[in-house]
Structure 1
């Protein structure tokens, strides 16, 4: 495949970092965005190919437009979008406040929507594009105490399917990966929250989360990145959601 211009959101750590490394290793130009400029610079220094650091909080109105404007000024239109930025929250539904609910929707659903809205026109005009959204197994099944997170991830999977249907004849594919518990800072934050509420020790909580995957361990970020790259390479797959959870959700 020829070198493409890529944008990875939430690229400063975890899955985003792993995806950026895989894309760069495959010969693509990779623009990195997240709020933490220092983390982005560290990832950029690891990439073997061209990198562009564009710090931003993509939940802010207009920020996605500014990020893509800067990429276009340097390299031209975004050809591969990996909408990875996301966060979780945990609380019983009855104790989930409006602010927490909105925060989950803003980052996990509205931000990917804005990224697609901004990048799809150039992809369809050029007759080639790839979009991969990092969703979650929470987009496929419901679990207790993560109502806001689950709703946002179910929503983004609907967005993926609708967008894929719109652009299927225009050389653009739109897909999602649905990881289980991945060995990332986000999972570490989940472990810390559970420990704070239950008094359990971190090792036992980590084992509980690992055991949710029939594989018996946390998923490695690079295992998600490999799946993302497979969607970039294959023009015949669109509107799909691939579970990466060691067999926990079979579909």
Structure 2
């Protein structure tokens, strides 16, 4: 893709301090966008900003995406810094596993608050400016867990199914107003979130990390984990000018797991 295809655009990437968010921010920067990294850990965001070269075209805003007042303040701050938001990548998320009968209300609410309500609040904060300009891209980082079910992660699956449902509904609402809304759905991806899942498996069973990796990687027909840059490429494609006819989609990035 042309390195300047997003020139003049301001992109907000939540969960931008590591993993898929960091890879996406780097790719959008290379495509010419100005980027605001959002996340809860200010130190991690600052470190990622430095890793991306710093400069006037990249900013950091610390925020809990599940806190309505904090989200509204964060987007106001981002707009004051780098201009109205043209692209929103809702990537912030958490994953926790437990058998259904051991899934307490606190775990259930935490998954929905961060993964679903967070995407809702950030979208609601960014959307008015997009509608006013009749131009915008919203990409929600969901999961293959939003397309199928997996055992022991009912709360996580419910939250990601919710993200895809919200994506489809909003895409229809704004279809004639120049704004596209899509979801990318990674399979198991080589990130800190994956490592946390591996650690949980080894902690709760007698398996080694190698054995835990083998259990998870078998879901992917390519027999490997997805890389963050591969997800970021899908996000970039959905944000590019030539993708304006693609909306309401949930695109699996999973080595053929979802067909």
> Normalized against structure 2, the TM-score is what?
0.94
Residue in 1 that maps onto 2:219: 212
CA–CA separation in structure 2 for the residues paired with 1:75 and 1:11 = 16
CA–CA separation in structure 2 for the residues paired with 1:236 and 1:61 = 31
Residue in 1 that maps onto 2:202: 195
Residue in 2 that maps onto 1:235: 244
Residue in 1 that maps onto 2:188: 181
- What are the residue-to-residue correspondences of 1:54-65 with 2, within 5 Å? 54-65=61-72
SS at match of 2:44: helix
CA–CA separation in structure 1 for the residues paired with 2:110 and 2:128 = 27
Residue in 1 that maps onto 2:30: 25
CA–CA separation in structure 2 for the residues paired with 1:64 and 1:78 = 14
Residue in 1 that maps onto 2:93: 86
CA contact (8 A) 1:180 1:245 kept: yes
Residue in 2 that maps onto 1:37: 42
Question: Cα deviations across residues 163-216 of structure 1 (Å, max 9, x unaligned)?
Answer: 101111111000000000000000000000011111211111112212210111
CA–CA separation in structure 1 for the residues paired with 2:8 and 2:201 = 43
Q: Point out where structure 1 has 5 or more consecutive residues left out of the alignment.
A: none
CA contact (8 A) 2:89 2:140 kept: yes
CA–CA separation in structure 2 for the residues paired with 1:210 and 1:66 = 40
Q: Within the alignment, does 1:100 sit opposite 2:107 as a pair? A: yes
SS at match of 1:156: helix
User: Which range moves more in the overlay, 23-32 or 199-208?
Assistant: 199-208
CA–CA separation in structure 2 for the residues paired with 1:52 and 1:14 = 18
CA contact (8 A) 1:21 1:46 kept: no
How far 1:117 sits from its partner (Å)? 0.9
CA–CA separation in structure 2 for the residues paired with 1:3 and 1:181 = 33
How far 1:45 sits from its partner (Å)? 1.4
Q: Within the alignment, does 1:133 sit opposite 2:137 as a pair? A: no
How far 1:86 sits from its partner (Å)? 0.5
How far 1:75 sits from its partner (Å)? 2.0
Aligned residues: 250
